[in-house]
A and B are shown apart, each in its own frame.
Chain A
Amino acid sequence: MAEPTDAPLLAVEDLVVEFPTAKGPHRAVDQVSFTVPHGGSLAVVGESGSGKSTIARALVRLLTPAAGRILLDGTDITRLPERRLRPLRRRVQMVFQDPYGSLDPHLTAGEIVGEPLRVAGTRDRRERERRAAELLDRVGLPASAAARRPPEFSGGQRQRIGIARALASRPDLLVCDEATSALDVSVQAKVLELLRELQAETGVAFLVIAHNLGVVRDLSTDLLVLRDGRVVETGRTGDVLASPAEPYTRALRRAAIDPHAVRGIKPRAMLTAATAALSAPTPS
């Protein structure tokens, strides 16, 4: 494992990602820069289509950026060919949004979690099984889970398997792309709790992607607000949420309905305000 240097764990410089469309390239991420320190946690928020997932996919090189650099501990991985990238892949892992689709349905939970170990070169099957059982236990799944297959688990349980798989690689950075948005509130709360514990325990750095401001609040120290692929505002999570500086961030903040904050019968004005602010033309 690379020893901490002055360099941040992850540095993203002027990242640009484009998609080809019928009307020419569509710039989904536009000149985004940020850093994540070792053990740190950064949240990226923004409305749907603002480019959050695109950043995540670029970080794990499921996409190749059009411009800019992604530095992992100082190593430029932006354009590394797959062969050279493979050894570095374990350091950045991802928890996917879709708990139903992100697990291979024909493998058992044990095999899924054991897979990164195989990649890492653990040839011994028993050793892999032992480690997988440990990891499953760590994310709060019973020992019997190892032999079952994904369709036999609930959404929250599947998301735990996904987390265990990501952890198996002993990553330095965990990218959580809306890891809880497919889950209902009560389940989501439990998964968030687990992620918090894991960070406290292993010191893994987080890049949390969400459109729900509430989710990021406990999970991240820093916040980055994205709109139409561009960074609108950054800062400490608490500060930004408590007093957003940019109108857009304010609108986002207002759109998040907090049941505790609602007063009166059918306070439609609360919605109207949020809607109005968000629909304001994009400064471009």
Chain B
Amino acid sequence: MKDGTQDIAKDGTQHVATDGTPLLDVRELQVELVTEHGIVRAVDGIDFTVGRGETVTLIGESGCGKSTTAMALLRLLPDGLAVVSGSARIAGRDTVADLAAARAVRGRTVSLIPQDPMTALSPVHTVGRQLGDAIRLRHPALGRAEARARGIELMRQVHIAEPERRWKAYPHEFSGGMLQRVLIAIALAAEPELLVADEPTSALDATVQAGVLDLLMELQERTGVAILMITHDLGVARIVSDRIHVMKDGRFVESGSAPEIVDAPAEPYTRDLLASVPALGPWDEDKQPGPDSAASTPKVIPHG
């Protein structure tokens, strides 16, 4: 789809696409939640941008406001709960100020990959139906059969084996990893320019996590989609991001390129976070020249 974005520099500092405006431009975003126990400021004035083809990660411990940020961008926080101020321009339209803009970008310019794949799909509708809905929203002219063909193609793209059979399956018949892939397929159905991935792997076990992340990166390579990644796992952040913003209590405490943040954290909070990751210690493959051998193994293998 977006060919022009393929030329993104691998240099993490460059975050502006060739046309000069970032895809996502967040300024002074502040989210206040009106709860029963008073007003909670979940996001406290953050600024960041995501350029085309870039991966930007928000990292921080549970409850620091990562998901709230993502939801606020898409105006998905219930009106009765959140008061959002500041601005968030997606492809030039401010979704904070303009509900219509938010509606227009949802499912078209931006897609969300939700935090918990197990609860993100309606349990009483088939996967095919939910994927088909997403496709037909993007391409209203498509008939049922065409949408199905396209959906099956998408499922194949996210490495779901036997997509024809699975089209009629219900979410509970899938494993967590597969569901996450379905959700990615649904997100891709929108042919988005920006993917908001809210902890796409924390509900999954480590082995499945690798597959999902791999898939996301593969997609980015192929389509040049920009990704706003949200995670509390430094390992994940390190491996997929161009830039990382470390979040604490609704504010950024540290921002920088992925290697900077992980290899040389400046803030004690970041260092704490890093220290909490249980060390695995060295192993025999560390001594080897690198994972080149692994990279040569066939990439597309049915998983799940």
Q: Do chains A and B touch in the complex (CB under 8 A)?
A: yes
Interface residues of A (CB under 8 A from B): 47-49, 184-189, 192, 211-215, 217-218, 238, 241-244, 250-262, 264-280
Nearest-neighbor residue (CB-CB) of A237 within chain B: B281
Residue pair B276, A241 in contact (C-beta under 8 Å) = no
Q: Which residues of A contact B284 (CB under 8 A)?
A: 242-244
Residue pair B280, A255 in contact (C-beta under 8 Å) = no
| Contact of A271 (CB < 8 Å), options: B61, B176, B213 | B213
Q: Which residues of A contact B256 (CB under 8 A)?
A: none
Residue pair A268, B301 in contact (C-beta under 8 Å) = no
Residue pair A266, B278 in contact (C-beta under 8 Å) = no
B101 adjacent to chain A (CB < 8 Å): no
Interface residues of B in 260-303 (CB under 8 A from A): 262, 272-286, 290-295, 297-299, 301-303
Residue pair A48, B238 in contact (C-beta under 8 Å) = no
Min CB distance, A247 to chain B, in Å?
12
B239 adjacent to chain A (CB < 8 Å): yes
What are 25 A-B residue pairs whose CB atoms fall within 8 Å in the complex? A47-B207, A48-B208, A185-B61, A186-B273, A187-B61, A189-B278, A212-B278, A214-B277, A214-B279, A241-B281, A259-B238, A260-B262, A262-B262, A265-B242, A268-B221, A269-B292, A270-B239, A270-B294, A272-B214, A273-B291, A273-B293, A273-B297, A275-B301, A276-B297, A278-B210
Nearest-neighbor residue (CB-CB) of B55 within chain A: A266
B163 adjacent to chain A (CB < 8 Å): no
Chain B interface mostly helix, strand, loop or mixed?
helix
Nearest-neighbor residue (CB-CB) of B204 within chain A: A48
Residue pair B299, A272 in contact (C-beta under 8 Å) = yes
Interface residues of B in 156-184 (CB under 8 A from A): 175-176
Min CB distance, A270 to chain B, in Å?
6
Interface residues of B (CB under 8 A from A): 10, 12, 55, 61-62, 175-176, 204-211, 213-214, 217-218, 221, 232-242, 257-259, 262, 272-286, 290-295, 297-299, 301-303
Q: Which residues of A contact B217 (CB under 8 A)?
A: 266, 268, 271
Given contacts A257-B235, A257-B236, A279-B303, contact A272 B207 (CB under 8 A): no
Q: Which residues of B contact A275 (CB under 8 A)?
A: 210-211, 214, 301, 303
Q: Which residues of A contact B279 (CB under 8 A)?
A: 214, 217, 258, 260
- Of B237, B277, B294, which is in contact with the most chain A CB atoms at under 10 Å from its CB? B294
Residue pair B282, A242 in contact (C-beta under 8 Å) = yes
Min CB distance, A253 to chain B, in Å?
6
Residue pair A211, B206 in contact (C-beta under 8 Å) = yes
Min CB distance, A219 to chain B, in Å?
9
Given contacts A211-B205, A215-B278, A217-B279, contact A265 B61 (CB under 8 A): no
Q: Which residues of A contact B236 (CB under 8 A)?
A: 257
Q: Which residues of B contact A211 (CB under 8 A)?
A: 205-207
Min CB distance, B60 to chain A, in Å?
9
Residue pair A252, B281 in contact (C-beta under 8 Å) = no
Given contacts A184-B62, A185-B273, contact A255 B234 (CB under 8 A): no
Residue pair B238, A262 in contact (C-beta under 8 Å) = yes
Q: Which residues of A contact B233 (CB under 8 A)?
A: 185, 257
Residue pair A272, B234 in contact (C-beta under 8 Å) = no
| Contact of A259 (CB < 8 Å), options: B12, B55, B235 | B235
Residue pair B286, A261 in contact (C-beta under 8 Å) = yes
Residue pair A265, B259 in contact (C-beta under 8 Å) = yes
Min CB distance, A182 to chain B, in Å?
10
The 7 closest A-B pairs by CB, nearest first: A273-B294, A214-B278, A257-B235, A269-B295, A271-B214, A189-B276, A276-B297
Min CB distance, A268 to chain B, in Å?
5
CA distance A215 to B280 in the complex (A): 8
- Of B175, B241, B295, which is in contact with the most chain A CB atoms at under 10 Å from its CB? B295
Min CB distance, A213 to chain B, in Å?
6
| Contact of A265 (CB < 8 Å), options: B210, B258, B285, B286 | B258
- Of A189, A270, A278, which is in contact with the most chain B CB atoms at under 10 Å from its CB? A270
CA distance A265 to B221 in the complex (A): 13
Min CB distance, B248 to chain A, in Å?
11
Given contacts A243-B283, A261-B280, 11 further A-B contacts (CB under 8 A): A217-B280, A259-B277, A260-B279, A264-B259, A265-B258, A266-B242, A272-B295, A273-B291, A273-B294, A274-B294, A277-B294
- Of B241, B278, B284, which is in contact with the most chain A CB atoms at under 10 Å from its CB? B278
Min CB distance, A133 to chain B, in Å?
29
Given contacts A185-B273, A243-B284, A259-B235, contact A218 B210 (CB under 8 A): no
Nearest-neighbor residue (CB-CB) of A48 within chain B: B205
CA distance A49 to B175 in the complex (A): 9
Given contacts A241-B280, A276-B299, contact A256 B206 (CB under 8 A): yes
Q: Which residues of B contact A47 (CB under 8 A)?
A: 205-208
Q: Which residues of A contact B238 (CB under 8 A)?
A: 257, 259, 262
Residue pair A185, B277 in contact (C-beta under 8 Å) = yes
Residue pair A217, B281 in contact (C-beta under 8 Å) = yes
Min CB distance, B224 to chain A, in Å?
14
Min CB distance, B266 to chain A, in Å?
16
Residue pair B285, A268 in contact (C-beta under 8 Å) = no
Min CB distance, B152 to chain A, in Å?
21
CA distance A265 to B263 in the complex (A): 12
Q: Which residues of A contact B211 (CB under 8 A)?
A: 271, 274-275, 278-279
